[in-house]
Structure 1
Amino acid sequence: MTSPVGNRLLPALVDEGARSTPDRLFGIIPKGPALSDGFRNVTFRELAYAVDALAWWIHKHIGQPGNGPKTIAYMGANDIRYYIFLLSCAKTGHTPFLPSTRLSDEAYQHILNATNCHVMLFTPETQRRTMEIKASRPSTVYLEAPATADLLSSNSETYPFTTPYAAMEDTVAFIIHSSGTTGMPKPVPLTHGFLATWDHAPHIIPAGRKSALYNGFSVGSGALLLSITPNFHLMGLIGPFGSIFHGFPFISIPDGPLSVQLLTDTINATRPDFVMIPPSLLEDMSHSEAALAALKTVKYTCFGGAPLALETGERLRKYTTLRTVLGSSEIGLVSSLAPEDEAKWNYFEWNPVYGIDMQHVNDGLHELVIRRGENTKTFQGIFHTFPDLTEYHTKDLFVQHPDNPNCWAYHGRLDDVIVLSNGEKLNPITLEKMIEAHPSVSRVVLVGEKRFQSALLIEPVWPDNNSIDEKEYIDNLWPTIQRANEVVPNYGRVMRSHIRLSSPSKPFKLTPKGTTQRRLVNNDYAEEIEAIYAKSAENSMESLPLTLNLHSLTQWVRVKITTLLDRPDIADDEDFYAAGMDSLQTVQLAQALNSALSADITQQQIYARPSINKLAASLFSILNGTSNGATEISRTEQITNLVTKYTHDLPSDPQRQRPVSSSQTVILTGSTGSLGTYLLNTLLQDNSISKIYCLNRSDTAKTKQTTSFEEKALDATPLTDEGRVEFLTAALSEPNLGLEQEKLATLLETVTLIIHNGWTVNFNLPVEFFESQICGVRRLIDFSINSRYTAHVAFVSSVGTIGNWKPTDTDNSVPEIPMETPDVALEQGYGESKHVGERICLEASRQSGVPTSILRVGQIAGPTTVAGLWNPTEWVPILLKTSKGLGVVPDSLGGMGVDWIPVDTLATIILEILQIRLHETQTESNAAFFHLTNPAITPWSSLLPSIQSSLSTSTAPVTPAPLTIWMNELEKIKSPTDSDISDKPALKLLPFFRDLANGDTLSAETSTVNAQKASRTMASLKGVDGALMVNWIRQWGF
């Protein structure tokens, strides 16, 4: 008579199956060690014969228990004999022990003593290792087990087994052991009562839900399970136990090293319904098209033992349904439900009857605790393992789903948590899994216990020759590490200087489940870890104050800044860029900070905090593992606040009447710059313009202007005629533009056009740096409002204000219209500040009737003339000079085409547009927008031959290479000398060139319809060609 579910013994079920359904499938096993040998079915009849045959063999060679069961170890080929052995021992009354085949000699001695084991069975495949154990343990009896074929083909007499479940519930069914991660392996005896909880597991699933493991397959359905976990591990026994208890036959793979190819071929040959595969192997499979095709034939893919990287899982679930399960040697499987939303494949939903209590630990982490109930022993295996406990703390950590409180994502173990020397706790799992998802990485371990910061050990996928250029490898992996750094707190982020590759002679030690044994890796690599921190300490010897607090750190930063600037009088709240700090000094400061703080302080972080107090506060936050981000307003809010600040009190007069002047008087700001010089030259050639006022900050602007004209071979004679052009020293952000009252009154009475061209060009500084210039836009608007002719304001803006514009269904190119949301601007202070300027002009037109023209200028190139010079401090000449220094020129500009306009041509286009705008009637729009980019776009590749021929010499050729390679070459220079900076000035603009390489530039073409209608020169513009490029390179003298 069959016992009820939860009270059944495995040997009895096998015997009954052999009697009632002898041809029922128990499992599918390989015929031989090679996949080409094929597979064969094993029925319950064959299983029963094999169990009885081995039971009689044990009876003969080992004997009956006598005064108590003997512990018999089995260490053989990873095949069906493991299951036969367990069942035979149950029948004979002995205790089977399944040691790992991967232990050290010391561990074997320890675990065999701990289990009082004096008999060991082996197979030819493990004979060598067994004899090594025998050499240090000769008193143990060593026996070679019968061959699989002999056992399965036997027609053995039944070995009697009639013991009831009640008598065996608390008897040890078999012994496994812990992984030994924290020391020597410990024996884990599991009882027949523990196994009975597996029998009960499918029968406690709530109505309408599915088990995470069996996924709705009904008991007895015959669904095939492929599990590849070693049979000495508890998870490896799910297959045979599930077949006996629940009617889910298993599939075994050929014994040997696991590989993607072996697993793929096995799936294709046996067609399982569901598979259990460790995450490490799933990650490898996700990069194989053949493996993905094989997984597509599988209904469900289960994984456990470790989390699966998110991007790997998302890639896999396009081919198969993913299920995650949780278990341990002591617990068995924790009862969990299949997710109702397949997108939550990496979340657990616990069976509500199982007694789970998620106890909060810290920082959103919860520990899984199992509580004992009145009638829960029939399905809670842990309380058979530890019968005296009423609750069990698993040490497994989880985070709750933000929207579904019943769903929990695995987040490591309490043992995994790294406690840094400052007391901050760091969970390494997510970062490690993100990096391990990279195809060149086998495994990684984050270290840093009791250290000030973390470090990373990486085990690469070693090539056949076991040779890897460590620097090149880390450079290639660095973008992945940076993305992983984003998911951990600042105090836990890995710095490039704190990364080390493993040695091929010291592979990371793994548990039987295939997870990394963190503590053993830390022990094996103790010297290498020490070397990482020793090197960091050497690099920061100049370093921080002994007593570290905000005050002492501020003093330390002050010394650094004042030394760099040679300005002992700089105030702690003063903008040190306004005080003269340049990009080279920024590079030097970043190097000093990185050296002293052992932190990855970028140039961009310094640009964003341009005062001693701001920088010190930021550094203090980083050192203490805190973020001041919570107190910083968002980018959108910051920009919107600036717009509001400078537009909220504009006077309301949208239909303002504008008298017409018989002549034009122009204010030009920024006249001494490159575009300003050509604008002034063009204005001077226009006889309709009676007077030009050049407003500049410098009181020597006229001298500079004359020099600029002469350098460009422009006629400087008109500059001496004050009746035609007058240079005024101005401060645009101050009331009255910083002009004397009498002069201001003259300008208010006569000026008809303001061309606002003056602006600091720096792509690194934050938007707040430009506030004085933003204020200057409002001051010029106020001037217009108060002027007799309501002077037309032409604002020279930038395509950076539309750099993040995205194509729509109706527009593939950026239209020449107002952009009133900050998200369209590039995330750089320069473009953001120009966006604010545009919005001020737009609101002035709407609310106050000020006529405005917004000129969104793209890349301004050098002049078309032989004389003149494209400013060599701009990014294009910097790129080309650096290319000459490196011997490598980028073969692309990161997807950017060459839509540049020569500076002298651009000046003509602007004046043509403004002449049209000045003569538009009162009824036409107060505000108009124009894109000044070359509509005839030239591919960068077409310019390369001219660039190469101009930059190369017979002894120093310059060759094209991908932009990423160019960047890699540049970033290899970790501590640039003065010579490096001179030859390779792109080192001063690394953030900009990284953006270029990443494609973080204008993402769509710009419409130039309005500009072409208003300017005949724009409409007939030709593209940049090789001849122009050769001319510019000649002018630079590279």
Structure 2
Amino acid sequence: MSDQPGERLWPAIVDHRARSSPSELVGLIPKGSEVSDGYQELSFAGLARAVDACARWIETRIGRATQPETIAYMAANDVRYLVFILASQKTGYQPLLPSTRLSDDAYKHILTVTKCQKFFYTADKQRRVSEIRTAQPETQIFEVPALSEFLDAESSPYPFEKTYEEAEDEVAIIIHSSGTTGMPKPVPLTHGFLATMDMGAYLSRPEGRQSSLFHDLQPGQLVMSTTPLFHLMGLIAFTEALFHEIPFVMCPDKPLSVDIIVDVIQATHPTAILLPPSILEDMSHSADARAALRTLEAVYFAGAPLSPEVGDLLEQDIKVITVIGSSEMGLISSLVPQGEKVWGYFEWNPAYGVEMQPQGDGLYELVIPRRADSRRIHGIFHTFPDLNEYHTNDLFVQHPERSNLWKYHGRKDDVLVLSNGEKLNPVTLEKTVEGHPRVKHALVIGQSRFQTALLIEPTQPVADDKAFVEAIWPTVERANETVPKYGRVSKNKIRLASPAKPFQVTPKGTTKRRAVNSDYAEEIEAIYAAAAAAEAAGVPQLPHTLDLTHLCEYVRSLVAELLARADLKDDEDLYAAGLDSLQTIQLARTLQTAVANRITDTPVAINQQQIYAHPTVAQLGQYLVDLVHGQTRTTTISRAERIANMIEKYSSQLPPHKPLPPSLPEKSTVILTGSTGSLGTYLLHRLVTDPTIAKVYCFNRSATAADRQRESFTTKGLDSALLTDPHRVEFLTVAFGAAHFGLPDPTYTSLLSSVDLIIHNAWKVNFNHPLESFEDPHLRGVLEFLQFSHASAHRAHLAFVSSVSTIGSWTSQMGSVVPEAPVEDVGAVLAQGYGESKFVSERLCWAAAQRAGIPTTVLRVGQIGGPTTRQGKWNVDEWVPNLVKTSVALGKVPRDLGGYAVDWVPVDTLATITTELTHTRRGEQSHTPHRVYHLVNPTKTAWADLVPAIQAKYPHVQVVGFADWLHELERIPSPSEEEVRAKPALKLLDFYRGLSGSVLSAEIAVERTRQGSETMARLGGVTGELMGNWLEQWAF
């Protein structure tokens, strides 16, 4: 046999060591069902005899395999697993090791897909195997003799003569996935896969560093194994004993308990132990168990995260080491982190080679890239030999101070998406709650719900549910601190699992999320129904005196609770204060219920539109006064006057005229706002790859913008390495409405001396908020940029990203063509705060060019589509994806949009057009201080031409008229959270109503825009293929 690490085969190793060191210890195995029965040593000579005897026994029953054939083995959790695996390999069979806890359907599935018709079992599994045979009558079953028959047999050697080269790609063992998300999936492990686990011990490491695997243990030191032997974590005990001479200790075959583990530790004195986290958490609550663990050099855990509280407790005097791997890829080589309070972190061994790819929200996915030597060290490329890189779907967060440390944060499919689009990974919260001694399992629920809830399986039956919740509530409060505020669990949304319906778990002890959600579907619906009923019953009554003072106090208290703020002023804009769309719906429902309870003789309809129209406590209070007293208050100031006053307020603060400098620098230095958004990311990519750009300063409000930018580049398939050069791109944290953007004076002064172009792309996108909600920081920010330009050395050119909503109400009376020019008639602007705020900003740019000589460009952008590439995604919260998602939920899609024509521009294409236009403007700004461009697709497509792509993706969707589609939504006057979750178009009903009448009676001129951009000049229309790409990216 080959004795080269990474080229050794299990049967050959056993035969070789049986000859060369027959008394060498393989493991300690229990003599009986009790620890007190004692242990016996299993040597390599004894193991070889047992394997040869078992091989001959298999041959007498079914013969030698002449071609690859699968045989199943279900047994007591004893060393016969190792014996049977080795004997199967010697006789040419592929041993399938099914879990002992699968359903009949799961057994049928896994036997069918592996084409297995022969099932071996030990006596204690006879009943279960008989049931399987009943479901699969063609299956032959064979009872395996007692272990002692193999160990005591006198058998001649059973030859195994294959070389590694012959056997590398042959299946050695078949295990299977846990079936967490469906039926268990067979995972064939080849001899080459097993050989990578051999090579793990020989990977280089930084000097003086300890491996997080067993490789630093010395030959002969015992490792206690506690996991089932049909699972990879159980098989590790065999790989280490055979490859690296680290013998195992096995527990008696009975349900694992803390007491048994303590007894085995005390009886056998192992050096280390490998435990599933669920058992380790149980042990943490026992003083005797903790004392037993303290006698060990290392306590390894794997398979799932460990409760933070448990880990913090144990690490005080126990060396706790986390190990990671999977059935498909084996173990990932990592190092034991150095320092305090890092027990839960991984430090990857550089020699193994992983990549941490950003996924947004501070999360990174562990990815294994293929390299020249991957087949020697990466098991995954034996499991999937055709892959070039493997995405594990495992998510991690980076240590806040040590960038080389990573903490497991769950899997991609663990992530909950709430009905407001917020994402939440609940794993840390769940594990923290499971750290409570009375909690066996915890599951956060809330997929597509407005709020999260918590389902708990207690360790013992509970007599009083309320008292139980009170007892664990302090732990839940601590757990809530691990997630954002929107994901926190309230006390009234905690429920206990039924003892008659225990949580389904994997062999690793982790909760099967999908299965438990399915098992408890009715109970989950009841949680949210009860919460809705309680909310309605608990609505605070209107004050006894219905005057302005008391109603303002009432509204203030409601909003203060929603925003968790006690300092809200009556004239403060609610949306500037942080109120979001779903809180708006919640506030409207509360007011609707309160007013209807008080005024029973007159129908009352308060929806979110009334909140948007009255966005301060004072305005809402006055609205309620008028409503409850049956008064209709006329507007005291017209819309046109409001807009004109806003324009005058800011244009009056423009600086005086000043001539342009004689020349511009050879290369541009650019300020870009909104760089982390969709368009902003592609704009930044265009700028940093443009050789005429010297440097880009990214202005963002978030201090984590640089990290988010890298994540955004990666998810869109852009090269994030472009962001690493501080001489090319720099991220600055700013306050847009503040003087000098809140920057330190030296930084601001430096910018004044170098910047010659500003692309202002940051803006709040909300079609419901009134104009006044955009004043701070948006309108103030435009004024601040104009003042910056005036003071700058190069009179920085301001390119303002505006919107066609500023001309969305243009009529034929205003002209047959909307010119690429400033608009003065406020009647041309869509009646929404968003469009009005863009209009005010356009007018400020025009005034600045005329009065102050500041070069400005207005880019009226139409609907931005998704990218033309496979990577990236059109923001699912925008009106087009909301329309599609709602249509899928309704089963109806509009055949038209009331005459609306699709003139969308893909986002990456739009970024190219924008940068080309800034180049054009740079060459003409000295004689043309202001210019307006229309960035809409000159090649229009009918919505009806895109509907077939939607039907191809969702065949159940019926095509209906736009009016009928709207009517379906209008039949839901006060939508529940569930309805808003499933049909997000309900949040934008007024927008869709306006869309049906939004067809301009004039053409939008694009001639000058096409002249200024080559990409615009050759732009084609949106196709069904492009729509299909976006549908795949949304994946509703």
**TM-score (norm: length of structure 1):** 0.54
Aligned position for 2:475: 480
User: Does 1:313 pair with 2:311?
Assistant: yes
Alpha-carbon deviation of 1:355? Answer: 2.1
Are the aligned partners of 2:365 and 2:392 in contact in 1 as well (CA < 8 Å)?
yes
| Contact 2:420-2:582 at 8 Å conserved across structures | no
Amino acid aligned to 1:341: G
Match 2:455 to one of 454, 457, 463: 457
> Does 1:378 find its partner at 2:376?
yes
Q: CA deviation at 1:198?
A: 0.7
Matches within 5 A, 1:90-105: 90-105=89-104
Instruction: State the match for 1:367 in structure 2.
Output: 365
| Residue in structure 1 matched with residue 12 of structure 2 by the alignment | 12
SS in 1 for 2:430: helix
Q: Does structure 1 retain, via aligned residues, the 8 Å contact 2:375–2:382?
A: yes
Instruction: Give, in whole Å, the separation in 2 of the partners of 1:221 and 1:434.
Output: 37
- 1:343 partner SS: coil
Of residues 278, 281, 289, the one that matches 1:280 is: 278
Provide the residue aligned with 1:540 in structure 2: 535
DSSP 3-state at the match of 1:392: strand
Q: 1:22 is paired with a residue of what secondary structure?
A: coil
**Matches of residues 204-353 of structure 1 in structure 2 within 5 Å?**
204-214=203-213, 217=216, 221-353=219-351
- Looking at structure 2, the residues matched to 282 and 62 of structure 1 have their Cα atoms a distance apart, in angstroms, of 42
1:189 maps to which residue?
188
Q: Which amino acid aligns with 2:534?
A: N
Distance 1:169 1:314, change over 3 A: same
RMSD: 2.5
Residues 624/11 of structure 1: CA separation in 2 closer, same or farther (3 Å cut): farther
Paired with 1:613 and 1:436, the residues of 2 have a C-alpha distance of 42
Alignment-derived partner of residue 140 in structure 1: 139
Q: Match of 2:117, SS?
A: strand
Q: Give the SS at the match of 1:510.
A: coil
Question: What are the residue-to-residue correspondences of 1:469-868 with 2, within 5 Å?
Answer: 469-541=464-536, 563-564=542-543, 566=545, 568-570=547-549, 576=553, 605=564, 607-609=566-568, 611=570, 613=572, 620=579, 623=582
Residue by residue, what CA displacement relative to the aligned partner does 1:8-64 show, whole Å, maximum 9, x if unpaired? 101000000000000000000111111221111100000000000000011110111
Residue 139 of structure 1 aligns to a residue whose secondary structure is coil
The corresponding residue for 1:665 is none
Give secondary structure in 1 for the equivalent of 2:112.
Answer: helix
Residues 144 and 618 of structure 1: is their aligned pair in 2 closer, same or farther, counting only changes over 3 Å? farther
CA shift, 1:115, in A, is: 0.7
Contact 1:489/1:625 (8 A) holds in 2: no
Against the structure 1 CA distance between its residues 485 and 13, is the aligned structure 2 distance closer, same or farther, given a 3 Å change threshold?
same
Secondary structure in 2 aligned to 1:4? coil
Whether contact under 8 Å (2:213, 2:323) holds in the other structure is no
Alignment check: 8 A CA contact 2:444 2:452 kept? yes
**1:204/1:493 Cα in 2 relative to 1: closer, same or farther (>3 Å)?**
same
Greater mean alpha carbon deviation, residues 615-624 or residues 156-165: 615-624
Tell me, yes or no, if the aligned pair for 2:213 and 2:333 is still in contact at 8 Å: no
Partner SS, residue 79 of structure 1 = coil
- Counterpart for residue 178 of structure 1: 177
Contact 2:2 2:163 in 1 (8 A): no
Q: Distance in 2 between matches of 1:271 and 1:23?
A: 20
Structure 2 counterpart of 1:422, from 417, 420, 427: 420
Q: What CA distance in whole angstroms lies between the structure 2 residues aligned with 1:325 and 1:443?
A: 21
Q: Is 1:83–2:42 an aligned residue pair?
A: no
Name the amino acid aligned to 1:538: A
2:236 and 2:340 map into 1 onto residues whose CA distance is: 24
- Write out per-residue CA displacement over residues 886-908 of structure 1, whole angstroms, 9 at most, x where no aligned residue: xxxxxxxxxxxxxxxxxxxxxxx
Could you tell me which residue of structure 2 aligns to residue 1026 of structure 1? none
Contact persistence 2:225–2:274 (CA under 8 A): yes
Change (3 A) 1:10 1:297: same
Please report how far the alpha carbon of residue 375 of structure 1 lies from its aligned counterpart in structure 2 after TM superposition: 1.5
Distance of 2:527 and 2:256 partners within structure 1? 33
Pairwise CA distance, 1:390: 0.6
C-alpha distance in structure 2 between counterparts of 1:102 and 1:213, whole Å: 30
Q: Deviations over 1:684-727 (max 9, x none)?
A: xxxxxxxxxxxxxxxxxxxxxxxxxxxxxxxxxxxxxxxxxxxx
Deviation, structure 1 residue 376: 2.1
- Return closer, same or farther for 1:209/1:130 CA change in 2, 3 Å cut-off: farther
- Residues of 2 paired with 1:376 and 1:264: CA distance? 40
Give secondary structure in 1 for the equivalent of 2:549: coil
Please list the CA deviations of residues 813-860 of structure 1 after superposition, one character each: whole Å capped at 9, or x if unmatched: xxxxxxxxxxxxxxxxxxxxxxxxxxxxxxxxxxxxxxxxxxxxxxxx
Structure 1, unaligned runs of 5 or more: 545-559, 595-599, 627-1038
| Aligned partner letter, 1:16 | H
- Look up the match of 1:955: none
Contact 1:279 1:308 in 2 (8 A): yes
After superposition, what is the alpha-carbon deviation per residue over 1:326-345, rounded to whole angstroms, capped at 9, x for unaligned?
A: 01000000111111225311
Structure 1 residues 519 and 529, CA, compared in 2 at 3 Å: closer, same or farther?
A: same
Structure 2 contact 213–334 (Cα < 8 Å) conserved: no
Secondary structure of 1:353's counterpart equals: coil
- The Cα shift of 1:570 comes to 3.0
CA distance in 2, matches of 1:618, 1:125: 66
For the residues of structure 2 that align with 1:467 and 1:482, how far apart are their CA atoms?
21
**In 2: Cα distance, 1:624 partner to 1:491 partner:** 11
Q: Offset at 1:273? A: 0.6
Q: Which residue matches 2:811?
A: none
Within 2, Cα distance between the matches of 1:147 and 1:383? 38
| Deviation sequence 1:107-136 (CA, Å, 0-9, x none) | 111111111011111111111111111122
Q: 1:251 to 1:534 in 2, by over 3 A?
A: same
Structure-2 separation of matches of 1:567 and 1:42: 86
Instruction: State the number of aligned residues.
Output: 585
Q: Which amino acid aligns with 1:166?
A: E
Cα 1:214–1:367, aligned 2, differ >3 Å: closer, same or farther? Answer: closer
Q: Name the SS of the counterpart of 1:377 in structure 2.
A: helix
User: Which structure is larger by alpha-carbon Rg, 1 or 2?
Assistant: 1
Residues 8 and 420 of structure 1: CA distance in aligned 2, closer, same or farther (over 3 Å): same
Q: What amino acid sits opposite 1:13 in the alignment?
A: I
SS at match of 1:570: helix
Contact 1:210–1:216 (8 Å) recurs in 2: no
Offset at residue 606 of structure 1 (A): 6.0
Q: Secondary structure at the match of 1:488?
A: coil
The 1:608–1:620 alpha-carbon spacing in structure 2 relative to 1, beyond 3 Å, is same
Q: CA, structure 1 residues 224+407, in 2 after alignment: closer, same or farther (shift >3 Å)? A: same
The Cα shift of 1:70 comes to: 2.0
Letter in 2 for 1:523: S
The 5 Å alignment of 1:38-187 reads 38-66=38-66, 68-187=67-186
Specify the alignment match of 2:411 in structure 1: 413
TM-score, structure 2 normalization: 0.54
Aligned identity (percent) is 51
What letter corresponds to residue 286 of structure 2 in structure 1? S
Distance in 1 of aligned mates of 2:140 and 2:271:
42
Q: In the alignment, residue 568 of structure 1 is paired with which amino acid?
A: D
Q: Give the conservation status (yes or no) of the 8 Å contact 1:70–1:117.
A: yes
Task: Provide Cα deviations, 1:413-436, integer angstroms capped at 9, x if missing partner.
Answer: 001000111111110011111111
Following the alignment from structure 1 to structure 2, what is the Cα–Cα distance between the partners of residues 619 and 479?
28
- Secondary structure of the residue aligned to 1:256 is coil
Counterpart AA for 1:406 = N
| Counterpart amino acid of residue 188 in structure 1 | V
Task: Verify the 8 A CA contact 1:424 1:625 in the aligned structure 2.
Answer: no
Q: Tell me how far apart the structure 1 counterparts of residues 513 and 204 of structure 2 sit (CA, whole Å).
A: 35
Give secondary structure in 2 for the equivalent of 1:236. Answer: helix
